[in-house]
Amino acid sequence: MNKLFIIGLPRTGTTSISIAMLDYDFKVAHTAYTKQAFELADVISDSPCFCDYPELDALYPNSKFVYLDRALEQWIPSIQMLLKKMQENLAPKTGIFHPVLKRSFNETFDLYTPPHTNTSNNTQETNKPSTRYTAKNLVLNETAFTEQHLSQCYQIHKEQVLTYFEQREDLLVINLSDKNSLDQLLTFLDVPHDSDVQFPHVNIGKHVSGWREHKHPNKVNTLSAGIDQRKFFDYK
């Protein structure tokens, strides 16, 4: 195996799985925004993996991928809380978050769209999270935090992942609420383990900083610098 990419959406358990992998001697980056971070890590989760998995698949052949599923009735209030908390810093021009993070969230959740875009129109074109993020003069999507919009984003992302990996054996789909999910993951990775292993539960409720607070020597800095300084891939 080259790399392990966790491509479930935020608030599906990306922090829990990242922390679990640290204790199995994997070097882990929970989010990665430089080439060097990807090179140093064995496991990379969250942004930009949930958005860029096709490009990462091409860059790192023979890797494995894990899609994290979660019941919508649990995921929607959790992602609503996160997106509202991050909203100001995700703004394309004025937000202070890393450009790759902003792109990943905006392309996946259609948070900012061109003025007068009718995002409530139930057509495939308007509802599909898109590359409209590259347009100028973007404004906050008035439906961005609604249950209908987020449910649609989730379902589209899941369908795209399953279609992309159809008839391949390098994707594992798990739900961390399943008590056997860590056993399934470690079996998928051919890692020796006890059959009764369980995932840690972190970032519960409004808590979103579990990864930052967790100390471990196998953690990889999201912004690790290398020969290319802190450059990201150009995907060309």
Q: pLDDT value at position 207? A: 46
Rounded to an integer, what distance in angstroms lies between the CA atom of residue 109 and that of residue 106?
5
Q: What is the mean pLDDT of residues 190-208?
A: 72
CA distances from 93 to 27, 85, 88, 112, 139 (A): 33, 17, 10, 11, 10
Average of per-residue pLDDT across 147-154: 98
Please write the tens of the pLDDT for every residue from 172-196: 999 999 999 999 999 999 999 887 7
Chain mean pLDDT for the chain: 89
Q: Is the pLDDT of residue 135 over 60?
A: no
Provide the residue count of the chain: 236
pLDDT bucket at 214, cuts 50 / 70 / 90: confident
The pLDDT, as a whole number, for residue 196 is 79
pLDDT, position 200: 74
Question: Tens digit of pLDDT for each residue in 82-130?
Answer: 999 999 999 988 999 999 999 999 999 999 988 766 554 443 344 444 4
- Residue 197 pLDDT greater than 70, yes or no: yes
Least-confidence region, from 21-25, 67-71, 150-154: 21-25
